[in-house]
Amino acid sequence: MEIAIAGLAGCQAVANIRRGIQLRPSTRDRLVPPSLPIVETFHSLQGEGLHAGRSAFFIRLAGCTVGCPWCDTKHSWPASAHPLRPLNKLVGEARDAAAAGAAFVVITGGEPLHHDLDGLCTALRQASHSEGGKGADGGLPAGQAQQTGLPLPLPLHLETSGVDPLSGQFDWITLSPKRHRPPPTSCWRPASQLAGGGWRPPASSP
């Protein structure tokens, strides 16, 4: 009976998180591990932008309210339609992808900034720091990966429309702003690259 009650409590906690109901941290942490709704993860070549052609591990987060009619990933819009995946599982997948040749991690969506990305970035970086030092470009020092076999750390890239405040720490941010949902200054200033032609920063901005 106690096992059944615990199982029901865990299911209710997951349902509450998907509905956006905030539990007290002590209760939430006891019932479910830190997690995010994930559409898919995959290791492939970056197909666009200044890093096109490079091997990358992609984490596609679920949930988007931007509503672009031309979007080619509309299946990612409803966050509740996709399973929650613990952060430690995502870290493990990133480590496997790095061992297979991925040069960086891309966090994309959906709209990834609908979620607080501090926890995911911290988990990825802590795993990185526990396995080796950073090189100048945010990766392992030259030759160290081959010498030690350590697959991490990997630079973290973000693909976002910038509709929400920036969270997490990234080595590269590709901003694809939309005219109908322009990004706040706090989001477009840190951007490494602007994608698309629908919006540009105000002319008076430095």
Domain boundaries, the chain: 1-32, 34-194
* Strand ranges (E), 32-180: 35-45, 55-61, 84-86, 104-108, 156-160, 172-175
Give the pLDDT of residue 128.
Answer: 57
Give the pLDDT of residue 31.
Answer: 53
Give the pLDDT of residue 63.
Answer: 96
Give the pLDDT of residue 127.
Answer: 75
Confidence tier at 205 by pLDDT (50, 70, 90): low
Contacts of 159 (CB under 8 A, 6+ apart): 106, 107, 108, 109, 112, 174, 176
Confidence tier at 126 by pLDDT (50, 70, 90): confident
Mean pLDDT taken over the chain: 77
Contacts of 32 (CB under 8 A, 6+ apart): 10, 13, 14, 17, 84
Q: What is the pLDDT of residues 133-188, one digit of tens each?
A: 443 333 434 343 433 344 667 999 999 998 999 999 999 999 988 888 888 777 77
Residues 140, 134: contact at Cβ < 8 Å? yes
Give the pLDDT of residue 138.
Answer: 39
Give the pLDDT of residue 189.
Answer: 80
Higher pLDDT, residue 94 or 8: 94
Higher pLDDT, residue 189 or 83: 83
Give the pLDDT of residue 15.
Answer: 47
Give the pLDDT of residue 183.
Answer: 81
How far from chain centre, in Å, is Cα 39?
Answer: 11
Residue 8 predicted with pLDDT over 50: no
Model-level pTM?
Answer: 0.72
Give the pLDDT of residue 10.
Answer: 46
Beta pairing class for 84-86 and 35-45: antiparallel
Residue 183's Cβ-count burial label (10 Å; 0-12, 13-18, 19+) is buried
* Protein fold of 34-194: TIM Barrel (3.20.20)
Q: What is the pLDDT of residues 54-104, one digit of tens each?
A: 999 999 999 999 998 989 999 999 999 999 999 999 999 999 999 999 999
